[in-house]
Structure 1
């Protein structure tokens, strides 16, 4: 009887562990994105550049085997695009160029987030009417990365992924 319980516990642990690993790596990816967004909110081009480099590292270290078939297909479809976007942000210290690339970056990450659950927490998809661009946020309070302090609270939440 003890052997059976041990085997059941072992199988359950192995079965649950990949989901936990996926959650921790996708959460790290989303956190890296938020770090870039927050640097742009604060108009810190140097920090945005270094955080974009970190995002690329997290992106390239993800273990796709922990994703379902559908998630893996979506991830593989966006991995190069997200890597390109992050590289473009990391390679410049020009804040306006970083913000331009951030629009594509955000759109690509949101498309991925619709298929791959990136976090257990809600992900807010915010819209800037002046820039006509979107970004992802970890809270409902608007902090606009496209204009920083100039128009910090300009925008609205358009969608919430739960």
Structure 2
């Protein structure tokens, strides 16, 4: 990671963006394979089932928000696959989430991000407000889309 962060910012961001797209997409793909029975060796554990239920209910905003957490990305991306979220719908959450993740890691890093949030520094507050605003916009867009889709079906 230190090697990538030593590159010019745009190249580092693009590399990190590509890495997280591939990793998260592969995790989603594994979840889809498990859901369709291709890898039917074990039943998913309770954490993975709970994540799949949340992802199925809330969709793309959950996927996006998972990239702002430590430890939830893998569970949420696998849960999206297990829940049977369609690829286009998954991409709506994946792309902005990957962009957020790449931005944090190519600039200040996750540790500094968490410290900035805890200390309440001006820069940390701006980053936190921006992240929260982005997640809120994604949630509102998803809810509006769901309502619109529901009214079209009725």
Fold conserved (TM > 0.5)?
no
- Please tell me the TM-score bracket, short chain as reference: 0.3 to 0.5
Structure scoring higher RCO (CA < 8 A, sep ≥ 6) equals: 2
Name the one with the larger strand percent. 1
Greater Rg by CA: 1
Greater helix proportion? 2
What's the TM-score, normalizing by structure 1?
0.34
